[in-house]
Chain A
Amino acid sequence: AQTVTQSQPEMSVQEAETVTLSCTYDTSESDYYLFWYKQPPSRQMILVIRQEAYKQQNATENRFSVNFQKAAKSFSLKISDSQLGDAAMYFCAYRSNFGNEKLTFGTGTRLTIIP
């Protein structure tokens, strides 16, 4: 079974600075997808960024980018120019391209933005 590990329960960053959230995963598969979801205080789950395992190029969405290291099974999220609205729980998630396709989530990292 796949597992996703987020080793940083909490992180904080000064507004306008850059922060990196870590995620590692364990799988024996070669074809899968990785995601970062954001959960603000409203508790809504919002997709931040996605990465296809067969693509070597790291995904980027505006101020959000990932560092995907397939061999190391690492998938970190970098947030540049942090804004107050970025304060949230961030969940890393794995999804196989086979079988039942359920998302497996990490335990989350709570990000605080310091004004």
Chain B
Amino acid sequence: DSGVTQTPKHLITATGQRVTLRCSPRSGDLSVYWYQQSLDQGLQFLIQYYNGEERAKGNILERFSAQQFPDLHSELNLSSLELGDSALYFCASSARDRAGYGYTFGSGTRLTVV
């Protein structure tokens, strides 16, 4: 157990639908990052939150949004889903003062859009 919890582990939904992915960071970590990994591809940075505030945006579609709550858990909302949104979505967390230690990753949510 890495300490970063992602739910659900698997999600199957139809095109046009909306889903919410949830992430609880490791205890004490203030930063949460979301990444998308399509089949056999690298990890694409979507968005970062730090202590409740959006810190950086990457290649995140307008149909996608995220937020970090006061208890530091984060949610990634994906709407108007398309077949191409099928991917593994990772959440990771890190402590601000431990930049050199990389991230702690969750086990990911596998989203399948049918």
Contacts and interface: CB of A to CB of B under 8 A. Distances in A.
Interface of A: 33, 35, 37, 42-47, 50, 52, 91, 93, 95-97, 99-108
Contacts of B55: 100
B88 interface: yes
Given A100-B48, A100-B56, A102-B48, A93 B99 contact: no
28 contacts: A33-B100, A35-B102, A43-B107, A43-B110, A44-B2, A44-B107, A45-B43, A45-B92, A45-B103, A45-B105, A50-B101, A50-B102, A91-B43, A95-B102, A96-B99, A97-B100, A100-B56, A101-B31, A101-B94, A101-B99, A102-B45, A102-B48, A102-B56, A102-B58, A103-B45, A103-B102, A107-B41, A108-B42
A96 B31 CA distance: 15
A104 B105 contact: no
A107 to B, nearest CB: 4
Given A43-B88, A43-B108, A100-B55, A105 B43 contact: yes
A91 B90 CA distance: 15
Which 4 pairs show the lowest CB-CB distances between chains A and B? Answer: A100-B56, A45-B105, A107-B42, A105-B43
Nearest to B108: A43
Interface in B14-69: 31, 33, 41-43, 45, 48, 55-56, 58
